[in-house]
Amino acid sequence: MASTTPLAGQTALVTGASRGIGKAIALHLAQAGAEVVVNYASSSAAAAAVVAEISAAGGKAYAHRANVGNEEEVGGLIKAVLEHSGSIDVLINNAGITRDGLLMRMNTEDWQAVIDLNLSGVFLCTRAVARPMLRQKRGRIVNITSVVGLMGNAGQANYAAAKAGVIGLTRSTAREFASRGITVNAVAPGFIITDMTRDLDLKPILAAIPLARLGSADQVAGAVRFLAADPAAAYITGQVLQVDGGMVMG
């Protein structure tokens, strides 16, 4: 029988883990036995609450602030985790923002902010963990992309471009790291119940989803946990797992 704590003795870094999908992922990986690093950019109170929830359930976690779109701060984050925990065995690149607007009206600042965090942040964190993971000859990386990166979406040119870039980065990195026992995959959520979807007009969205409902953060986290922790996922790399109720097929 497979262990219920396959990540026991391992360290998992989850970026943007103070709320929403990132929080759910942090909780799931802690349940799998990992010591979880709860990365956050602004809300120390929210991050502390996630750490407290994990600790109350008998898990191990600590918080660390860093803007993962900033090269210097990413370097400091990885250095601090390695000094505190000794290794980084799992990296979940989850941190992201939206700055929606029609392309003709989108200013360069909003374009660049989304690219810097949602795409460059994945690159910076992956590059920073590459050396220690390659040295230990094992590791799992899961990047959170979006179905928008597969199909596009009006009013989200910056977000769609960044998330499509994450898919290309995932597959390229998977090819580079495979020979050293490191898997790199992506999870593409569809419309999930979070702060980002709270104010959307759901009627046309639900009509486009075969399962006719929004997903939950826990359902996304379950997919991430499989790719990051389940021994059965050791032979899966370079893949995009869609958690979207059937919205995008093919």
Residue 25 in marked binding region: no
Residue 157 in marked binding region: no
- Catalytic residue, chosen from 40, 62, 159, 235, is 159
Residue 159 in marked binding region: yes
Residue 70 in marked binding region: no
To the query of whether residue 159 is one of the catalytic residues in this protein, the response is: yes
Please name which of 120, 76, 80 lies closest in space to residue 97, comparing C-alpha atoms.
Answer: 120
Q: How far is CA 159 from CA 98, 112, 182, in A?
A: 6, 10, 27
Task: Find all residues with CB under 8 Å of 189, minimum gap 6, and list them.
Answer: 21, 144, 146, 147, 215, 220, 243, 244
Residue 164 in marked binding region: no
Helices marked H in the chain — which ranges? 20-31, 44-56, 71-85, 108-114, 121-136, 148-151, 157-177, 202-207, 217-229
Residue 118 in marked binding region: no
Residue 186 in marked binding region: no
Residue 32 in marked binding region: no
Here the tokens at position 143 are 């990047």
Binding site as annotated, residues for NADP(+): 16-19, 67-68, 94, 159-163, 192
Residues serving a catalytic function are 159
